[in-house]
Structure formats: C-alpha cells, structure tokens
Structure 1
Amino acid sequence: MDTAASENEVRLRKGTSLNERLVLAGIAAILCLIALPGLAHLANDQWLGIAALFALLFGCLLLSAALFDRNVVWIITSGEILIGEQRPFGKLHRRLIRDDEIAGMRLRKSIGKSVEFALVVETESGDTLTSPPLPDVTQVQKTTLQVAWLLQLPAPELAENPLDAANPRIRLGKPISSKRIRAYRALVVLFACSLSLPFVYALWSGKLSTLGIAVWSLGAIMAFVLIRHLYRTSAFWIVRDGAIRFERLSLKGTIETDTVSDDDVERIDIESGGRRGSHYVIAIRLRTGRKIRSPVLVGKEQTRAVRAEIARRLALNPSDVG
C-alpha cells in the first residue's frame, strides 16, 4: 500500500502480493499432502484421521485465500475516484465515480490486529463504498484532507488518532492510571499469598519435601516472569519535538518517569515484539548504552511509519535509523 508522491493524486491499495500468494499456496499444498495419508484412519474413528481431516480443510482454506483473494486499488484524482478490482485469474473490473455522484464521505476507524483508517464514500444512488486502509497511520489527517480537497467535499470529522503527525505530541501505549496501579498491586499480593500459604503450611506441619520446594521455586519463577512481563508491557511514550517522555509501572507498583532529549539518542531500530510475527517494538539506544523499548505495535509498515515520525521529531540523521 502506498500513496502517490503527487499532490494531485492519492492511491490506496489492498491485496496480496504474488510472493505472499505463493507462500500461502505452498503451505496449503504441504498441509494437504501431509493430511491425505491420514484420512485412511478416518473410517476407524481414530483421532489421527480426524486431525488429518481438519488439516486438509485448513489447507483448502489457505489455498482458496491464495487463489481467490482480490486486489483492490483506489486512484483518487481531481473530481473523480477510479476503483479497480481483480482476482488472480479474473478480469480487471473498473468503476469511475465522479465527485457530483458522491453524497458524502466519512473517516472510519477500525481496531483489529492493528488500528486502521479507511474512507467510507456514499453515492447519490445509495451505494456505500469502503476504501482500502490509508497507508500511513501517522499521516491520516493529511491524507483525508487531501482526498476531500481533490473531490471538492467538506472535510470529514477526524477520528482520534494518537499517532498522527499533525498532533503536537504523539502517544504510544496507554496512560498509566491509578486503577492499573491498584490492579498491579492486587496481582502481586495474590501471587505472594498463593505461593506462600502452601509452603508455610507444609513447613509448619513438617511435610515439606524436596518436590514441594521444587514446585514452589518453579511457581515463584513463573510469578516473577509474569510480573516482569507486566512491567515491560506497561510503557507509555509521549513524543514531542526534541524529546520523549517515558512512563512505566515500576516493580514496586509506582509510576516511573523519565525524559530523554534528541542529544541522548544514539540509534533507533525496530525489533520483534513477541512471539507473534506481526508484533514489533521501537527500540531506542541511548548514548549511555541503555536501551528503551516502546509499547507493542502491530504491523511492520505501521511500525516503520511511527519510527520515521519519531526520528523526524528527534531530528536524527538517516544513518542513526536502523
């Protein structure tokens, strides 16, 4: 997805590239080949046959997505919208909508795996058309106003977007409230009681064993890892020109705050944000050697856009951006 460089044209795209389709088709073919021999066990009501059947159905769904998912492009120029739709082995369908056919336009915000913004156009004939997602989550206001200007329409009401470059400050993550602090402290107390009571009872009754100590130790490690994870995911960033303010829930259940200026930043990179392949974080390395990671962002394109906006506000050199 991208927008044209010209101010007289906006392009919005949605679809799957050829490489992505080939990967999906390859995975589907492998699943089907693995599942077919297992179907012989289905007649005997064995679990292997049932698992093979589900694998075959899942492979067929992936293959259908690779073969029949359509690509959509909107080309918005002065006074008109050209919409093109095409499936991999189908004809290209075009539709031209002039500005005098448009009854209204609004901006829609959807929250799924990631926050996306799209334009909803209503025609005089009663049709409602939804555009592909706007390509850059940090430029939603600029793109929306540009489209309204090209189509000679009133600017639609803008949805709240904490990542928009038009904001004096962009915000990543959720502000740390007193409710989150109370919930964090209650969770720590619950973990402490859950782990300590059985251990204290076993010690008091003289039934403490090596196995009991091992189980208690494992539970303590798991509790520490979970609390540490909550600490790492509680970050809240406020980015303004020349500085970033960080807020984080400390291990003691209080709010830690810190501010770094553009002179403190050595490099800014993108790193994996967890087990899911679509999750990323922005990692800022300070000149002191300390590394600060952002709240999790979904989608590499969105993460790159946010990183570029942070780098712009910090006035970093291109060589400092990974």
Structure 2
Amino acid sequence: MDAVANENEVRLRKGTTLNERLVLAGIAVVLCLIALPGLAHLANDQWLGVAALFALLFGCLLLVAALFDRNVVWIITPGEILIGEQRPFGKVHRKSIGDRDISGMRLRKSIGKSVEFTLVVETLSGDTLTSPPLPDVTQVQRTTLQVARLLQLPAPAWIENPLDAANARIRLGKPVGSRRVRAYRALVALLACSLSLPFIYALWSGKLSALGIADWSLGAIMAFVLIRYLRRTSAFWIVHDGAIRFERLSLIGTTETDTVGGDDVEHIDVESGGRRGSHYVIAIRLRTGKKIRSPVLVGKDQTRAVKAEIVRRLGLTPLDGG
C-alpha cells in the first residue's frame, strides 16, 4: 500500500508484490514435491499417505493463491475514482467513477488480524464498492477528509481510532481500571493459597517429600510466570506531545504510573510481540538502561506507523528513533 502521493491524489492498494508471490509459489512447489512420494502409502491405508494427501492439497491451494490472487488499486483524483484490477498474467481491468455518480461515502473499521479502515462508496446505480485499506493507521482522519474534498462529498461520520495522529492523545492498550485491579488481586490471592496450603499441610504433618517440593517449586514458577505475563500485558500508554505516560499493574496489584519525556529516551525500535509472527511491540530504551515495551500491536506496517508518530511527538530525530 502506498502512502498519500500529494494533496490532489490518493492511492490505495491491496494485493501482493511479485516477490511475495514467488516466495509463496516456491513454498507451495516444495510442499507438493515433498508430499508426492508419500502418496504411495495410500494404497496400504497408512497414516503417512493421508498426511501426504493433505499436504499436497494445501500446497495446491497456496499455489492457486499465488497465481490468481488479484491486485487492486484505487486512484482518487479531483472528481474521479479510477479503479484498476489485475490478476497475474491477465489484463488490467479499469473502471472510472465520477463524483456525480456517487450517492454517499462512509468509513468502515474492520478488526481481523489487524485494525483496518476502508472507504465504502455507494453509487447512484445501487452498487457498493469497498476500497483497499487506508495506508497509514495514524493518518485515517487526514486521508478520509482529503478523499471527501477531492470527490466534493461530505466528510463521513468519524469512527473512534485511538491511534490517529489527529488525537491530542494516542492510546495504546486498555486503561488499568479498578475492576482489572480487583481481578488481578483475586488471582494473586488464589494462586498464593493454592500453592501455600498444601505445602504448609505437608510440612505440618511430616509428609513433605522431594516429589512434593519439586511439584510445589514447579507450580510456584508457573504462577510467577503467569503474574509477570499479566503484569506485562496490562500496560497502557498515553502519548502526548513531548511525553508518554505509562500505566501498568504492579506485582502486588496496585497501579504504577510513570512519565517519560523525549530527553529520557535513548532509542526506539520495533520488536516481535513474541506470541505470533504478526504481533509486534514498540520498545523504548531509556538513557538509564531500562527498556519499556508497549502493548501488542498487530502488523509491522501499523507498528512502524505508530512508532513514527511517537518519535514525532517526542521531538526525537530519526536516528534516536531507530
């Protein structure tokens, strides 16, 4: 997806590049070649033959997706939308829609692997067209207003976007409310009782064994990891001009707050979120050596856009921001 080219043109793209198609097709071909020899086991009703059949079918689906997935581009200029669609090895199909043929436009928010905003255009002929995703999640309001101006349409109703650069504050994560604090404290108390009571009873009755100590130690480690995970995922960032306010649960169930300014930051980078390949976090390393990680964001492009907005608001140079 391309960013906004200039004030008199907006380009929205959806599809895969040639390199991405080649990689996907290569994976599909390798998967099919690996699966073919295993089909010989189908005659003997062996599980290896069934697994090979499913692998072959999956490889064929990947190959079809690489070969026939279409690319779509919307070019919005004053008074007109030019829509181009093309499949690999096929011709480009073009369609032009004038602003006089448009009866309305609205903004739509989709939540899937990542939060995406698209424009839904309704024509006088009754057709409903959905645009490719808007290119920058931090510039949704600006792009939407620009499109409305180019097509001489009323600005569509605004949808809440906590990551939009037009907001006075950018919010990442969920606020640490009183209900969340109570739930966290109840969980900590439950874990403490679950681990302590059997250990105390075994110690009091003289039935404490090496196996019991090992089980209790493993449970304590798992409980500690769970508490650390919940504490880390409770992070809430509020990004102002010149500073970031951090809120998170402490290990004892209270709300910790801190504020960091641009002068306190040594480096900002994008790191893996750790759970899935599409999950990322913004990591801020302070001059004191401490590292602070943001709530999880989905999509590397989206995370980079949010990082760029944070760098701008803190008044950092691109070198400091990574």
Q: Which TM-score bucket, shorter chain as reference?
A: over 0.9
Deviation at 1:58, TM superposition (A): 1.7
Q: 1:45 to 1:169 in 2, by over 3 A?
A: same
Distance (Å, rounded) in 2 between the aligned partners of 1:222 and 1:43: 47
Alignment of 1:244-259 (within 5 A): 244-259=244-259
User: Which residue of 2 is the match for residue 91 of structure 1?
Assistant: 91
Please list every run of at least 4 consecutive aligned residues from structure 1 whose deviation after the TM superposition is greater than 6 angstroms: none
In the alignment, residue 128 of structure 2 is paired with which amino acid?
A: T
Alignment of 1:227-242 (within 5 A): 227-242=227-242
User: Which residue of 2 is the match for residue 300 of structure 1?
Assistant: 300
Cα displacement string for residues 166-203 of structure 1 (whole angstroms, at most 9, x for unaligned residues)? 11111111111112112212222232233334434444
Note the residue ranges of structure 2 that are not aligned, 5 or more in a row.
none
Distance (Å, rounded) in 2 between the aligned partners of 1:217 and 1:56: 46
Q: 1:191 to 1:47 in 2, by over 3 A?
A: farther
SS of the residue corresponding to residue 259 of structure 1 reads strand
User: Which residue of 2 is the match for residue 282 of structure 1?
Assistant: 282
Deviation at 1:3, TM superposition (A): 2.6
Distance (Å, rounded) in 1 between the aligned partners of 2:236 and 2:272: 18
Deviation at 1:23, TM superposition (A): 1.4
Q: 1:105 to 1:187 in 2, by over 3 A?
A: same
SS of the residue corresponding to residue 319 of structure 1 reads coil
SS of the residue corresponding to residue 318 of structure 1 reads coil
Note the residue ranges of structure 1 that are not aligned, 5 or more in a row.
none
User: Which residue of 1 is the match for residue 66 of structure 2?
Assistant: 66
Distance (Å, rounded) in 2 between the aligned partners of 1:208 and 1:88: 69
Confirm or deny: 8 A CA contact 2:5 2:11 kept in the other structure: no
User: Which residue of 2 is the match for residue 108 of structure 1?
Assistant: 108
User: Which residue of 2 is the match for residue 40 of structure 1?
Assistant: 40
Cα displacement string for residues 110-148 of structure 1 (whole angstroms, at most 9, x for unaligned residues)? 111111100000011111100000000010000000000
Distance (Å, rounded) in 2 between the aligned partners of 1:30 and 1:235: 42
Cα displacement string for residues 56-108 of structure 1 (whole angstroms, at most 9, x for unaligned residues)? 22212211211111110000000000000111122111110000110100000
User: Which residue of 2 is the match for residue 272 of structure 1?
Assistant: 272
Distance (Å, rounded) in 2 between the aligned partners of 1:257 and 1:200: 36
User: Which residue of 2 is the match for residue 144 of structure 1?
Assistant: 144
Count matched residues: 322
SS of the residue corresponding to residue 213 of structure 1 reads helix
SS of the residue corresponding to residue 281 of structure 1 reads strand
SS of the residue corresponding to residue 317 of structure 1 reads coil
Report percent identity of matched pairs: 84
Q: 1:205 to 1:43 in 2, by over 3 A?
A: farther
Alignment of 1:1-322 (within 5 A): 1-322=1-322
Confirm or deny: 8 A CA contact 2:118 2:133 kept in the other structure: yes
Q: 1:200 to 1:117 in 2, by over 3 A?
A: same
Aligned-CA RMSD value: 1.5
Distance (Å, rounded) in 1 between the aligned partners of 2:58 and 2:191: 40
